[in-house]
Amino acid sequence: MTAAPATIADTPAGVPTARQVRTHLRKARSRHHDHSLGDVLGDAYVMVLFVGMYGWFAISASRDLLDSPTVGRAEPGVRWWLAVAALLAGAGLAWRGLRALGPLLVTPATQSWATSAPIDRRAWLAPRFVLLMLGAAAGTAALGVAVAALGGVTDLSALGWAAAAGAGWGAAALALSVVAQSSRSGRRWPTVVGAVPMVAAAVITALVVLVGRLGDGLSRPGTTPTVALFAAAVPLAGVGMILAVRALPRVDRATLTTGAQFANAAATATILLDPSLLAGLVESRRWRRIGRVRSRRFRPGPGWWALLQADVRRLRRHPSAVLIWAALIGVQYAAALALPGLAGAAQVVFAYLAANRLTGGLRSVSRSPGLRRALGGSDNLLRGIHVVVPAVGAGVWWLLTLPTVDPGPAWLAPTLALGVVAAAFRAGTRPPIDYGGATVNTPFGMIPVDLMRQGSRGPALLAVLVLVQLFLG
């Protein structure tokens, strides 16, 4: 069936309603797309089947791994409370992600041609808000079922309550994030909402680790409070939806476009297998938030001493990197308590993540030839200076987490620590990706082997270190 022609002459006189504009755009788009409704439903069916099949396989494999004797047995109460802490930390990170994404966003074309026009903003954004609410509720319901299944729950009614609780809290979080998006800049309550679950997760983790180190463990509650969580989420989601609908007219164009930039960078990074595209955007936005800094002179000395002071001062102006570095220490202690059989491998991975957070100066120098020319000296000298901070950070982190693992041979720990520094150095000094490399035709499609090789420059060495620790630790 051929769509009706959509031309400028079809535009109604006066200010059109949001529904009229959407209808007009839908007709115009249908002239440039040959996908039918059946094709869309077929793609959706394949996607749901893919997610369901591989999702259930991942849950089953994770349950088998947690029950494996090689992982080690921890007290059920310890695992339960650490799982609660992990969920709280995930909720805080999800809130930060929603705040970074928007969650309401529009494309640049929509921003120029629709949101800048005198169209009712609430009517224009309401369908997007409803779709986001449904998606958030469905996604968090599936997450609730997955968490319950990982915990060994098989009763259908219990899984249903877990799904309902997840859907309720997901809808509430999405609605409140829309309210936060419409708030004026400088309001502190969105930051507090994101910080509360993170602080609660840190407190629970510290308490569990402390009690576990003292030789006792926290007991697990008799029942999982999914019904209470659902009962608490329903009124919160209702109030959040009412406030969000009222706040839709106040969502300005700037916040709608900011989320679109983040989404486009994430999609581009996924397609091009280059996460540095997304990381670069996040880092540039982080530095732009610092409106004013106080200039201070460096201590006198040679050039390398000034560059080293600049790298240290970078961390002072980017405290979240140090905060994550410190938080990973607690995560390592928690992992060693919950999964003692994998404590050594976890130490290698978390040490890499901690060191990688300190390589901001190394990445900046390595990815900017102009900056290297302006600083002077050879490339190796500049990279050698900027690897000092992550190397010292990795060494201190390793020493602080030594009580969590079996030391093994005397040479193993120093070798793994140096390997972690080397992996962070290789990841930080990765050159720009060359997209003209070789690809391999497989039964699953074309695989860009050269792209994967370049992207795994640091993680590949990390995987070797993990294998060494598992076999020799």
Quick: pLDDT tens for 410-447.
889 999 999 999 999 999 898 887 777 777 777 666 77
Quick: pLDDT tens for 98-141.
887 778 888 778 878 887 788 888 888 899 999 999 999 999 99
Considering the chain, what is the average pLDDT of its residues? Answer: 84
Quick: pLDDT tens for 236-282.
999 999 999 999 988 888 888 777 777 788 888 877 777 777 777 77
Distance CA 469, CA 473 (A): 5
Distance CA 420, CA 416 (A): 6
pTM of the full structure: 0.81
Three-state DSSP state, 47: helix
Are 421 and 389 in contact by the 8 Å Cβ rule? The answer is no
**HEC-encoded secondary structure of 233-272:** HHHHHHHHHHHHHHHHHHCCHHHHHHHHHHHHHHHHHHHC
The whole-number pLDDT of residue 358 equals 92
> Residue 354 above 90 pLDDT?
yes
**Selection from 6-10, 207-211, 286-290 with the highest mean pLDDT:** 207-211
Instruction: Please give the residue that has the higher pLDDT: either 387 or 318.
Output: 387
> Residue 200 above 80 pLDDT?
yes
The whole-number pLDDT of residue 214 equals 75
Burial class (CB in 10 A: 0-12, 13-18, 19+), 170: buried
The whole-number pLDDT of residue 2 equals 44
> Residue 76 above 60 pLDDT?
yes
CA 178 to chain centroid, in Å, comes to 19
Instruction: Please give the residue that has the higher pLDDT: either 34 or 462.
Output: 462
Burial class (CB in 10 A: 0-12, 13-18, 19+), 356: buried
For 377-392, what is the mean pLDDT?
Answer: 92
The whole-number pLDDT of residue 384 equals 92
Phi, psi of 432 (to 5 degrees): -55, 145
- Which residues neighbour 15 within 8 Å (Cβ) at sequence distance 6 or greater? 117, 118, 119
